[in-house]
Amino acid sequence: METPINEFEKESSTKLVVVDGADVDDYVLIDKTERRAHICCGCDTRNAIIVVNVISICFYLMAIISFSLIANDTLNYDDDQVQNVMDTLDGTKIGLTISIFVVGLVCNLTAIFGAVFYNRIAVTIGALWFLSETIRSLCFYDIYSAMMAAGFFYPHTVFFFELKNGVMSRENYPKEKVCCDCCCSC
């Protein structure tokens, strides 16, 4: 009589075949019908890249518009605190700040392109941008921004390795596709 396997053991078992040939190296065949891609916040990493980059694009657009509006502001304000902030912003290099935001916007658009067209280089550009944002935030002791940038960096890195290892591709994406249905209807 065969020993019954409970549901947990059925779901957690891995179908793995090791093939050892005389003329070839040892290699592993993984069951091609099983889903192998990583899930990030309820979505596959391709969708996660699109979502985090759209969020980031919204932030950059708001920042570009805001800094563009205050670039030529010469009004005197009644509130001393507001006047102090405006004087401080006046001393910053608004053009340089806007340029950095534009570079971030371009990197985010490039990463979305990479996710849509399964391009590793484009996804890497987005990942490097979020990595630099994480490092910059840590240098200024801005822990919240560093955590957010690191969280946005994560799906780019995982998706890159999924592309590299053949887990995610144009051909097998229908099998790997997962969507949380809260922010996109895949």
Flag whether 157 is in a domain: yes
Flag whether 18 is in a domain: no
pLDDT at residue number 25: 42
Flag whether 26 is in a domain: no
Render pLDDT for 100-116 as a digit per residue (tens, 0 to 9).
999 999 999 999 999 99
pLDDT at residue number 178: 59
Flag whether 8 is in a domain: no
Query: Which regions in the chain score pLDDT beneath 50?
Result: 1, 5-31, 35
pLDDT at residue number 166: 80
Flag whether 151 is in a domain: yes
- Strand runs labelled E in the chain: 16-19, 27-30, 39-40, 43-44
pTM above 0.85, yes or no: no
Flag whether 49 is in a domain: yes
pLDDT at residue number 75: 63
Residues 6+ apart with CB under 8 A from 186: 43, 47, 177, 178, 179
- 40, β-bridge pairs: 43
Owning domain of residue 86: 38-176
How many structural domains compose the chain? 1
Flag whether 185 is in a domain: no
Contact 161, 169 (CB under 8 A): no
Flag whether 14 is in a domain: no
Query: Could you give the CA distance from residue 173 to residue 46 in angstroms, rounded to a whole number?
Result: 9
